[in-house]
Chain A
Amino acid sequence: MSTPPDLLYTEEEEALRSAVRDLLTDHCRAAEVLARAETDTPHDLALWRRLAGTMGLAGLLVPEDRGGAGATHREAAVVLEELGRAVAPVPYLSSAVVATEALLACGDDELLGRLASGRAIGVLAVGLHLAPGDPFPRVRHADGTLHGELTGIADAAVADVLLVPADDGGLYAVEAGEATVNGQVSLDLTRPVATVRLDGAPARRVGAAGPAVRRALRAAAGLLASEQLGIADWTLTETVRYLKERKQFNRPLGGFQALKHRLARLWLEVVSLRAAARSAADALARGRDGEDGRDADVAVAVAQAYAAPVAVHAAEEALQLHGGIGMTWEHPVHLYLKRAKADSIAYGTAGAHHQALAGLVDLQAP
C-alpha cells in the first residue's frame, strides 16, 4: 500500500470508452444478440474483427515490442465494462486477457503477436469456474501429442488456438482444427462453454503451465470485475429508466418509496463496485512490472469477492422490477442475469476469493 491506487479514468480511457460504446451501439443491439444466441454461432465474429482488428483492442495488454498496443489492464478494464454493458458475445476476456496473459508468462512471441493483432483467437483450456491458484486438470502428453478431455472451456467453440496444460507441467499450443470441440448447452447464452477432446493432437510446448495459468486467472478474476460493473451499470440504468416510464396505480412505479430505496441501495453498490474494479485494474497494471504483487492479489480478491454478488443482485433486481416483461424471452434482461450468474462462478466464486483473502490479510480460519 505504498501509493494509493488511481481510481479515476484518464481522458484517454474515457475516449476509448466512447469509441467502444459507439461501436457496440451500432453493431451489438440486444435483439441481435438474442437472435444469435439460439443459432449455431452464438459468437459474433464480425463484431470481434472490428474490436480486435480494426480498433486494435486485442493487443492492449501486450507490450509494443512484442507485437501489441502497449497499454495496461486499466484500458482493458474499460473495454470490458463496455462489453459487459452490451453482453457482447465476443471472446475478448478469453483471448485478449486470459490466453494473452498466459502467453505473456511464456516466451512464444509469434503466437502472442497473432493474438494481439486479432488474427487468431486464443483460449486457455482451463475450466471457467477455476479460481487463481486452484489446481487445474491436465491432459496426457506423449511424444509431442496430447490426449484427454477438458470441459467447461469458455469460448472454445471459436478458438483458433488452444493453450492446453499437460501432465508434464508444460503448456501446449494446439491448433483448434486438431481438437474436437463440442459446445455444451450453457447457462450463459453469450459466453457458452465447450468440451475439448484431444486424441493425439499435435502440440507445441510454449512454456510452463503453473505460472502461466496462475497469472492468467488472476488477471481474469481482476478484470472480470469490470465486466460485472458493466452488467450492473446497464441493468440499474435500464431499470431506473423503465420505472420512470412505467405507470401503475395512476403514477410512475419509480415514485413508490419501496422501489426508490431498492434502487438507491443498488446505486450505492454499483458506485462501490466501480471503486473496487478500478482498484483491481490499477493494481494489475502496476503488478505487471513485478512490484506490489501481493497488493494486486488482495485488490483482485477484494474486487471479485464484491463484484459477483453485486452484478447478480443488480440483474435480479432488474428482472423483478420489470415485472412480467422481465420474465419474457423477448426482453434482454435475462441475458444479463445469465451472464451475471455465470460470472459469479467464473474465475472463482466470491467464497473462493474470501478464502484467498483469509491467507492474504491474515484472518485465518479456526
Chain B
Amino acid sequence: MTDSPLDAAGLRRRTRRFLAEHPPGSTDRLDFLRARFDAGLAWVHYPEGLGGLGAPRSLQAVVDDELQAANAPDNDPRRIGIGLGMAAPTILRYGTEEQKRRYLRPLWTGEELWCQLFSEPGAGSDLAALGTRAERDGDDWVVDGQKVWTSSAHLARWAILIARTDPDVPKHRGITYFICDMTDPGVEVRPLRQITGEAEFNEVFLTGVRIPDSRRLGEVGDGWRVAQTTLMNERVSIGGTALPREGGMIGKVAQTWRERPDLRTHDLHQRLLRLWVEAEVVRLTGERLRQQLAAGQPGPEGSAMKLAFARLNQEISGLEVELRGAEGLLYDDWTMRRPERVDFTGRDAGYRYLRAKGNSIEGGTSEILLNIVAERVLGLPPEPRTDKDVAWKDLAR
C-alpha cells in the first residue's frame, strides 16, 4: 500500500488497490471501515498511522469519489458528527500519542460515539464562566456539576468535557479539558424535552465522576485554548456542501405553493417571493464563500452565514405554517421521542417552524455572532470586559 505518490492520480491508484484488496461487496462493513482507516484513506490530511497520509485535505474528494463509485460503505458521518467535527481535531492537535491511538480509530469508524459536555445552565453565551468543578485527587480528577444541551449523551461512549480546575484565577485561565467516559459511575443522562415535543438533547449530571489524569487533553488550566479548536471546527462545518437552488427550507414551501393553488393569497405571494429571493441570495453567498475557500482566499463571510440561515429558516417556516391556513392549526405529533439525528427540513411545517427557533441560539446565538462580525470583521470596539481580571469565584452570579 505504499509508493503511490500523494497527488490525485497516486491517491486514486491507492484507493483502487485498496478496493481490490477489500471488495466492499464481500467485506463486513466494520472490517472495511477499520481497514480503510489503517490504509490512511479515512481522512487523508491526518498523519500516517492515524487514518491519514499527511496529504492535502482537498484530495479527500478523490478518495471519496472512488469509494462512492464502488458502492463502498461509509462511516455515516452525520451520525458521528460531533466526534468527527469537534472531538477529533482537538485530540489530533492536543492529544498525546497514546490518546490519539486509543481514540481516533473507533471514533472514525463509528464504533464509539462522542458527545460534548460544554454548555451549562449558568454558562451559555458566556461559556468561560462555567462552574463544573474538577478537583485533583491522586492520579484522578473528581468532577461535579451539570451540563446541558448535550446531543447523543445517551448513546455516547465518550465526551469532551471542560471543567473548572482553578476558581482563584480569572475565568478563562482556570479551565481544563478532559475526555470523560460516559459509562462511568456518577454520570447521569436525562433527556431534555424541547418545544417540538421531542428530546434531541440531554442534561448530564456529573456527581463525583473520577477521570484519570491520563484523559486530560492539554495542560492544566489551558482548557479554554484547547476548546477554541473544538469551537472553531464547529463553525467551519457549517455550509460545507453546495446547495442547489431551492435546496433548503424554501424548497418545501415552494413545493406547497405549486401543489396547492387553493392556499394562495396575494399577501403570502409577496412574502414568498421576497423570501425566495433572499434564500437564493444566501445560497449564492455560500457558493461564493466556497469558491473563495477553493481559491485559497477564505473570506470572513463564514462567520456570518449562520446568521443568515437562522433568520431565513425561521421566516420561511413561519410563512409556511401561515400558508397552510386551517392545516396550520394542526401539529403532526407531540410524542416525546429521542431522534438519533436532526433534520431541520424534516417532518411537517409546524415542526420546522418550532425547530428553526433553535437555529439562532445553538452553536453561538445570533447576538454573539453579530458581536463577532462587528469586532473581528468591521474592527469596531469590543464589548466592555468587566470580568477579565476578576477571579472566577468572585464573579457575579
Contacts and interface: CB of A to CB of B under 8 A. Distances in A.
A302 B280 contact: yes
A127 interface: no
Interface in B223-248: 242, 244-245
Interface residues of A, number: 43
B295 A244 contact: no
Q: Chain A CB within 10 Å — which of B245, B288, B308, B373 has the most?
A: B288
A268 B264 contact: no
B27 interface: no
A254 interface: yes
Contact of A363 (B257, B282, B307): B257
Given A240-B379, A260-B380, A271-B304, A354 B281 contact: no
B269 interface: yes
A187 to B, nearest CB: 25
A148 interface: no
Contact of B307 (A268, A274, A364, A365): A268
Nearest to A266: B378
A363 B279 CA distance: 14
Contacts of A361: 254, 276
A244 B381 contact: yes
Contacts of B282: 272
A366 B281 contact: no
The SS class assigned to the B binding surface is helix
B242 to A, nearest CB: 7
Interface string B371-390: 10111011111110000000
Contacts of B58: none
Interface in A268-283: 268, 271-276, 278-279
A278 to B, nearest CB: 7
A139 interface: no
Interface string A235-266: 00000100110000001101101001101110
Contacts of B340: none
Contacts of A264: 304, 370-371, 373-374, 377-378
Nearest to B270: A354
Contacts of A306: 277-278, 281
Contacts of A362: 258
Contact of A240 (B274, B278, B380): B380
A205 B274 CA distance: 41
Given A1-B245, A275-B281, A302-B280, A365 B380 contact: no
A305 to B, nearest CB: 5
- When A and B form their complex, which 7 residue pairs have the shortest distance between CB atoms, in order from nearest? A255-B381, A260-B374, A366-B264, A264-B373, A7-B288, A275-B284, A354-B273
Interface of B: 242, 244-245, 254, 257-258, 261, 264-266, 269-270, 272-274, 276-278, 280-282, 284-285, 287-288, 291-292, 295, 297, 299, 301, 304, 307-308, 367, 370-371, 373-375, 377-383
